[in-house]
Amino acid sequence: MFSALLLGAAILFSTLTHDLAEAKVVVTSDIPCRPFHEIYPSGRELCEKMWDGSFVYETNRSRAYTMWFFDQDNPNDDVTRNLGLSAPSLCHLRYLHKDTPGPEPDTFAECHPWKENSCCTEDTVSSVQKIKQSYGPEWHWDRCGPLTPACERFFVQEACFYECEPNAGLFRKYPDRHFNASDPSHNRWQMSGMPIWSDFCDAWHRACRNDQFCSHDDGNFFSCAATYTEEQAADGGTVVGIVFGCLVIVALIGVLGFLVFRERTGQPVFKPLEQQVS
Ligand SMILES: *[C@@H]1O[C@H](CO)[C@@H](O)[C@H](O)[C@H]1NC(C)=O
Ligand SMILES: *[C@@H]1O[C@H](CO)[C@@H](O)[C@H](O)[C@H]1NC(C)=O
């Protein structure tokens, strides 16, 4: 009899967790997802809108930075000179960045263009998985499902560029001369208005054309990340539900065990009617 009850409890438990798992799937797909080509009309919108004004689309190659390169020397240093600026001797952005740019060891491979002079350490950019997870789940670029390798490559390049490129520090949204530590709207990590080579943005748009991305706020990745807290709260509810369900089932099994124990020891809790009468 006891095993039959256990089986019943197991069936109840699996039904309950299955329902909860389905509820979770509904929550996750609440992010509005659409293909890149429907969200961004062209490479310009992709570069400018996705990154909330961190970058601007620039067609003049001598005034435009590239997020990736194969040259021995970093071509972005020339761009800085063409803009009348000087290559920074400090890493002005503060996220996972080093204090000053410098060389990284031979094992530095994922963001290899910056090996000789980088604002990132090998440890922070050791793999695609590591890079993706560095900023928290709200910043995962595959929240609408896995991206094709061609498309994901551009997100890795952007992350390498942001973490490793010393010249990116020239475009901090709140540069040191304006930065006010007691103003909660200021930060040391955000960028603004860095000119990016138009061909790079266009290639990114072609590579991701049919991949799915968060279309919230016209594809603003920052706004989409900000919606994560709501989703997180819903997920928290699911976890509480599962834990509560498990506790109820454990309690049920305990009670059943107790009943069986009493019956086996000859002191059943529920006696047959005639026995109770006598
Ligand atoms: C591109 O930018 C460079 C450097 O600022 C400038 O000298 C050149 O005239 C620009 N070219 C065009 C076509 O605007
Ligand atoms: C810095 O920010 C605080 C808080 O917003 C403000 O009260 C203060 O006036 C600011 N200081 C400067 C120099 O702008």
Q: Residue 7's pLDDT is what? A: 55
Q: How confident is the model at residue 251 (pLDDT cuts 50, 70, 90)?
A: confident
| Ligand 2, pocket-test mutation among 178, 179, 183, most atoms within 8 A of CB | 183
Residue 185 CA: which ligand 2 atom is closest?
Answer: 5
Distance 185 CA to ligand 2 centre (A): 11
Residue corresponding to tokens 């809790």: 269
Taking the C-alpha atoms of residue 140 and residue 41, their distance in angstroms, rounded to an integer, is 22
Q: Is the pLDDT of residue 278 over 60?
A: no
- Amino acid identity at 110: E
Q: How far is the CA of 253 from the centre of ligand 2 (A)?
A: 61
pTM of the model: 0.75
Does an H or E element contain 214, and which?
A: strand 212-214
Residues in contact with 84: Cβ distance below 8 Å, sequence separation at least 6, in sequence order: none
- What 3-state class would DSSP assign to 110? coil
Let me know: does 108 contact 88? Beta carbons within 8 Å. Answer: no
Q: Which of 58, 61, 63 is the best mutation target for the ligand 1 pocket, counting ligand atoms within 8 Å of the beta carbon and taking the most?
A: 63
Q: Answer for the pair 171, 194: CB distance below 8 angstroms, yes or no.
A: yes
Q: Which of 177, 182, 186 to mutate to test the pocket of ligand 2 (most atoms within 8 A of CB)?
A: 182
Long-range Cβ contact pairs of 74-83 (< 8 A, separation 24 or more): 74/113, 74/114, 74/116, 74/117, 74/165, 74/167, 76/165, 76/167, 77/167, 79/167, 79/195, 80/167, 80/170, 83/195
Among 24-33, 99-108, 181-190, the least confident range: 24-33
pLDDT tens for residues 138-190?
899 999 999 999 999 999 999 999 999 999 999 999 999 999 999 999 999 99
Q: Choose the weakest-confidence range: 153-162, 187-196, 203-212, 233-242.
A: 233-242
Q: Range with the lowest mean pLDDT among 28-32, 159-163, 177-181, 240-244? A: 240-244
The CA–CA distances, whole Å, from 190 to 8, 68, 183, 185, 250 equal 55, 20, 14, 11, 49
